Structure 1
Amino acid sequence: MYLSFLLIICYNLPLLLRACPIYLTISLESKTLQDANLEINWGPECHDHPEWIGIFNEDPSTAYVHPEARITDINNSSGKVLTNVNVGKLRFPFGWNINDINTVPIEYPKGKCLPYYVASFNGSELLTVECLKIQPNWMSKLEHIAQMPLKDIFIPGTHASGAYINNSAKTKSVLVKDYVVAQQFDVWSQLVFGIRYLDFSIGFDKIVDVYDTSIGDNFYIVNENKFVQPLRNVLKDVRRFVKLSHEVVILDFSCFPIGFYKHPERHSNLLHLLHEEIGDVVYIRNTSTTEGSKQCFELTIDEIRKNNKYIIILYPVQELPYPESESKMLCPNWKRFSTAFMNTSQVLDYMRLLFSKKDTSPVQNEGWVFQATRSMEQSLNNNKLEKAKERAAILNPKVSSWLKGPWSLTANVVALDYFSNTNIIDVAIYANMHKAFNMANKNFINFEIVSN
Structure 2
Amino acid sequence: MLFLVYFLFLGTNHGHSIEVNIEQPLILSVSSKSRETVSSVVPIDREVQIHFDTEAAYDRIALFDLNPHEGTREPIYVIDQDKISESNGFVQTNVSLGNPELPHGWALHSTDLGQAGDQCLPIWAAAYKNSKIATTDCLKIRPTWMQDNRLFIGNLDVRSLLIPGTHNSGCYKRGEKISLRETIGRYILTQDQSVWNQLVYGIRYLDFRIGYYPPKDNTSVTDDDESRFWINHDLIKVRPLAPVVGQIKKFLERTSNEVVIIDFHRFPIGFNMRQERHQALVSYLERELKEYAIPYANQPLTLDKIWTTQQRLIISYGENSVAKAKDWLWPPVKQIWGNKATTKDLEDFLAAVVTNDSFQFPETGLWALMAQLTPSPLELLFNPKGSLREMAHKVNPQLLRWCQRSEWWPKLRIVATDFFLETDIVNLAVSANVLKGHHDKRYETD
TM-score range, shorter chain: 0.7 to 0.9
Provide the rounded CA distance (Å) in 1 between the counterparts of 2:414 and 2:330: 16
Match for 1:318 among 314, 320, 329?
A: 320
- Answering whether residue 37 of structure 2 is matched by residue 22 of structure 1, we say no
The unaligned stretches of length 5 or more in structure 2 are 1-7, 11-16
Structure 1: stretches of 5+ with no match in the other structure? 1-7, 286-292, 444-452
**Cα offset, 1:140, TM superposition:** 1.9
- Deviation at residue 29 of structure 1 after TM alignment: 1.9
Where 2:54 maps in the other structure, the secondary structure is: coil
Distance in structure 1 (CA, Å) of the matches to 2:182 and 2:379: 18
Residue aligning to 1:347: 346
Q: How far apart are the structure 2 equivalents of 1:170 and 1:381?
A: 17
**Matched residue, 1:36:** 45
Q: CA deviation at 1:174?
A: 2.0
**What amino acid sits opposite 1:348 in the alignment?**
E
Match runs of 1:359-374 below 5 Å: 364-365=361-362, 366=364, 367-374=366-373
Distance 1:78 1:330 in 2: 47
Cα RMSD of the aligned pairs, angstroms, is 3.0
- 1:163–1:229 Cα contact (<8 Å) kept: yes
Q: Hey, what does 2:75 align to over in structure 1? A: 67
Secondary structure of 1:116's counterpart equals strand
**Does residue 239 in structure 1 map to residue 258 in structure 2?**
no
- Distance change (3 Å), C-alpha of 1:221 and 1:209: farther
Deviations 1:387-444 (A, max 9, x none): 010111111111121001121111100000110122111111111121112222589x
Residue aligning to 2:5? none
User: Is contact 2:360–2:411 with CA below 8 Å preserved after alignment?
Assistant: no
Contact preservation (8 Å) 2:28, 2:138: yes
Give the TM-score normalised by structure 1: 0.84
CA distance in structure 1 between the partners assigned to 2:245 and 2:306 by the alignment: 19
Equivalent-residue separation in structure 1 for 2:20 and 2:76 (angstroms): 25
Equivalent position to 1:156, from 143, 160, 164? 164
Question: Which segment drifts farther, 423-432 or 174-183?
Answer: 174-183
Aligned pair in 2 of structure 1 residues 415, 389: CA closer, same or farther (>3 Å)?
same
Distance change in 2, residues 1:299/1:208 (3 Å): farther
| Matching residue of 1:294 | 298
Q: Tell me the CA shift for residue 281 of structure 1.
A: 1.1
1:286-316 per-residue CA deviation (whole Å, 9 max, x = no partner) reads: xxxxxxx434xx3222222322111101113
Give the superposition deviation at 1:368.
1.5
1:25-78, CA deviations, whole angstroms, 9 ceiling, x for partnerless residues?
A: 2442248999424323224x5312312111101111233321100112212684
Which one-letter code corresponds to 1:13 in the other structure? E
Question: How far did residue 124 of structure 1 move?
Answer: 2.1
Q: CA deviation at 1:114?
A: 0.7
Instruction: For residue 353 of structure 1, report the CA deviation from its aligned partner.
Output: 1.6
Q: 1:279 maps to what in 2?
A: 290
> Conserved in 2, the CA contact under 8 Å of 1:373 and 1:416?
yes
* Secondary structure in 2 matching 1:81: strand
Aligned to 1:251: 262
Determine the C-alpha separation between the residues in 1 that align with 2:47 and 2:287: 40
Matches within 5 A, 1:204-223: 204-207=212-215, 215-223=225-233
Shift in CA distance, 208/410, structure 1 to aligned 2, threshold 3 Å:
farther
Query: Residues 114 and 133 of structure 1 are in contact (CA less than 8 Å); yes or no, is this contact kept in structure 2?
Result: yes
Alignment TM-score, normalising by the size of structure 2: 0.85
Amino acid at match of 1:200: F
Report % sequence identity: 27
Conserved? CA contact 2:320–2:332, under 8 Å: no
User: Which residue in 2 is equivalent to 1:269?
Assistant: 280
Q: How many residues align?
A: 418
Matched, 1:437 2:407: no
The match for 1:47 among 55, 78, 82 is 55
Residue 129 (structure 1) shift: 0.5
**Residue equivalent to 1:3:** none
Moved more, 272-281 or 76-85: 76-85
SS at match of 1:89: coil
Structure 2 equivalent of residue 387 of structure 1: 387
The one of 132, 143, 146 equivalent to 1:136 is 143
Matched, 1:13 2:12: no
